[in-house]
Amino acid sequence: MKEDFGLTQDQIDIQLMTRDFIRKELPFERIKECDEKNEVPMEVVKKCADMGLTSITLPESIGGGGMGQVTNSLVLEEIGYQDVGFATTIGACSLAYTPVDLFGTQAQKELFGKFIVDGGLAAFALTEADAGSDVANGRTTAVKDGDEWVINGTKCYITNGNNASVYAVFAVTTPDAGTRGMSCFIVERSRAGITCGKEEEKMGIRLSNTCEMVFDNVRVPADHLVGKEGQGFKIAMSTFDITRPAGVGACTCGAMRSCIDKCLEYAATRITFGNPILQNQSVQFMIADMEIRYEAARALAYKVASLIDAGITDSALASASKTLSSDYLVKTTEDAVQIFGGNGYSKDYPIEIMYRNAKISQLFEGTNQIQRMVIVKSLLKAAGMM
């Protein structure tokens, strides 16, 4: 892998450290075992936390790495190389912290960040059964009662739900107000009334815990409201503008790079008709197309990450990065199965897991159809057409 994008020596060191660590600590045999059991390798999570990989974007003032989205992308790309599901587990901490980072007070940043810095996981609780892409249609409510908010409702498909120590929870505070009726709250797992419901038996990313979270009269202090009342939708969308390029874009680029490396190695040693299949031009072209997709997606992901680090956020570019990389990953893993042939369909080879892992990247943090709507809306605004 080429070291480019004007990386500093510190960034390269972190990249290489993460690469060596994750390939040693999470080999295919362990990935396969966890995939079959639908479990998160918590011993590796702990080591990631000890290395500061779960708190890479948190401010140094609260014990975090104090690093930006380019460095975060480097870390998630390397972890994604081994397993997209595990990268999702680690990346969800940054996702959950970002609302507090963008809109929270210093006290809230310290409160939320301490759970992650101390080795815990965090979760972003937004999605509901009847409000997936239609975020503003959520039914979880938060009602003010004196100096507290009382939260009731059920969230679904929550990454790290059952393993998290703290949540960023989105709830309706003003019914019938649409996008202006939702607010964001810090909710500690230790509070009474929080239970983990159904744990999802997923097709892929099975090294990531995904479950239903039930909030039954959960009381949180008034100072756990992040930003202002009614800002929840804005907070969620602003968060995705930051997290999509790294959490999906760079992470899936790592998986594409892994596919390319595995296909090159396999095609060079797989003999048919007396020759390695790598000598077949059709196979060469498939691998060449993989490389083209990888380089294009990676360039866009790091461009967006660099802009974010420079203080520039662009919803359309973030959506473009997420969409391009996830669409390309699905195609790349599909071609990898084709190159591996029957072995690519076998659980004895890593391509089978990678193929199953890929699809979710087109769905979470907003489906790719929603991303395209965001992009077109941006184009129409720029053209003065809305």
pLDDT digits (tens, 9 = 90+) for 133-189: 778 788 999 999 999 999 999 999 999 999 999 999 999 999 989 889 999 999 999
pTM for the predicted model, two decimal places: 0.95
- Here the tokens at position 56 are 């890479």
Please give the helix or strand (H or E) that residue 209 lies within, else none. none
Q: For the chain, give the longest Cα–Cα distance.
A: 79
pLDDT score recorded for residue 153: 97
* pLDDT band, residue 1 (cuts 50/70/90): very low
Instruction: List C-alpha distances in Å: 131 to 8, 134, 234, 255, 343.
Output: 42, 5, 16, 29, 39
Domains of the chain: 9-120 (1.10.540.10), 123-230 (2.40.110.10), 234-381 (1.20.140.10)
**What end-to-end distance do the CA atoms of the chain give, in Å?**
43
Percent with pLDDT over 90 in the chain: 93
365 in active site? yes
| Of 102, 69, 76, 101, the residue nearest 306 (C-alpha) | 69
Radius of gyration (C-alpha) of the chain in whole angstroms: 21
pLDDT digits (tens, 9 = 90+) for 204-256: 999 999 999 999 999 999 999 999 999 999 999 999 999 999 889 999 999 99
Q: Helix, strand, or coil here: 364?
A: coil
Catalytic residue among 77, 128, 352, 365: 365
| Of 140, 57, 60, the residue nearest 91 (C-alpha) | 57
